[in-house]
């Protein structure tokens, strides 16, 4: 078996792992896509890894958007107010990301991963404390939007998404909750509009720069579909709090590994 075929197989396995983690805890898993592609698949091209995983995350998000839309958990108006300014942020972020040396970008990405892990724990505790309040808002049909907040947050999250090549769902959901009167489940469904769009726009810009592998993206998506189904099935049988803490620990460990590998280059470039 050639090295290329082995990498394709490992790409499918990586997609399964990312999908599994997303199905297991409902978020954060896609941030492992870049380290998996680089250090598990062995695809040693940081910028190509970012563009490729961005496309996979975007496609997965659009696929997951469909069942949420069918359940009326996607609020188009809120999604557009968040997504459209976010596209401009993505375009700016991708330009700066392409100009940033790959190893420096990976070091900064490691810092972001630690921030994501911490935010996941904070959100978990916040959900526990505010569960009743969120349920009380569920039937509220007048979903007010704070337009300045949703536009500014969308632009900032879009920039982060484009710069690091991530979907940004872990930031978009809190952003939608903060800027509009949405129940949690509708914030999650609506966020997929932005995650999908940010991922695809990032991938298009990286593709124009010649830093995109469409085949590996497709393999990630195919693996993610089966992994997500398995993860969702297991998640109903295990405590969500325990899963989140364990997964956050894994993200932090991977982040430290990524930062150690790229620290010398990052600090020598300052």
Residue 138 has pLDDT above 60, yes or no: no
Q: Quickly tell me which residue has 């954060």 as its tokens.
A: 28
Q: How confident is the model at residue 183 (pLDDT cuts 50, 70, 90)?
A: confident
What distance in Å separates the CA atoms of residue 127 and residue 138, rounded to the nearest whole number?
14
Q: Quickly tell me which residue has 């484009």 as its tokens.
A: 162
More confident residue, 26 or 30: 30
**What percent of the chain lies above the pLDDT cut of 90?**
46
What is the mean predicted confidence (pLDDT) over 150-160? 92
What interhelical angle do 147-164 and 102-136 show, nearest 10?
Answer: 140
Highest mean pLDDT among 110-124, 172-186, 187-201: 187-201
What distance in Å separates the CA atoms of residue 212 and residue 228, rounded to the nearest whole number?
24
Please give the pLDDT value at position 125. Answer: 74
Q: How confident is the model at residue 28 (pLDDT cuts 50, 70, 90)?
A: low
The set of long-range contacts for 120-123, using a CB threshold of 8 Å and a minimum separation of 24, is 120/25, 120/27, 120/28, 120/170, 120/244, 120/247, 120/248, 120/251, 121/244, 121/245, 121/248, 123/170, 123/173, 123/174
User: In the chain, what's the furthest Cα-to-Cα distance?
Assistant: 59
Give the N- to C-terminal CA distance of the chain in Å, as an integer: 42
What distance in Å separates the CA atoms of residue 24 and residue 47, rounded to the nearest whole number?
28
What is the mean predicted confidence (pLDDT) over 231-254? 81
Q: Which among 8, 4, 19, 58 is positioned nearest to 204, based on CA atoms?
A: 58
């Amino acid at each position: 078996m050639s090295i290329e075929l082995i990498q394709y197989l490992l790409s499918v396995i990586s997609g399964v792992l990312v999908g599994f983690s997303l199905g297991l805890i409902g978020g954060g898993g896609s941030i492992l896509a870049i380290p998996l592609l680089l250090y598990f698949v062995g695809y040693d091209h940081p910028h190509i890894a970012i563009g490729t995983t961005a496309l996979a995350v975007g496609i997965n998000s659009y696929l997951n958007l469909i069942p949420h839309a069918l359940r009326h958990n996607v609020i188009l108006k809120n999604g557009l107010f968040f997504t459209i300014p976010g596209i401009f942020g993505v375009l700016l972020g991708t330009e700066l990301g392409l100009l940033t040396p790959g190893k420096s970008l990976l070091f900064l990405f490691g810092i972001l991963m630690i921030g994501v892990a911490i935010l996941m724990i904070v959100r978990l505790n916040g959900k526990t404390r505010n569960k009743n309040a969120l349920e009380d808002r569920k039937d509220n049909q007048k979903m007010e939007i704070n337009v300045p907040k949703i536009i500014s947050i969308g632009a900032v999250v879009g920039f982060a998404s484009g710069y690091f090549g991530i979907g940004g769902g872990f930031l978009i959901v809190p952003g939608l909750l903060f800027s509009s009167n949405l129940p949690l489940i509708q914030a999650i469904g609506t966020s997929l509009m932005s995650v999908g769009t940010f991922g695809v726009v990032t991938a298009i810009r990286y593709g124009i720069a010649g830093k995109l592998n469409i085949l590996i993206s497709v393999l990630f998506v195919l693996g993610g579909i089966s992994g997500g189904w398995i993860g969702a099935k297991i998640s109903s049988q295990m405590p969500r709090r325990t899963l989140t803490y364990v997964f956050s620990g894994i993200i932090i460990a991977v982040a430290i590994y990524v930062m150690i590998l790229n620290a010398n280059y990052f600090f020598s470039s300052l």
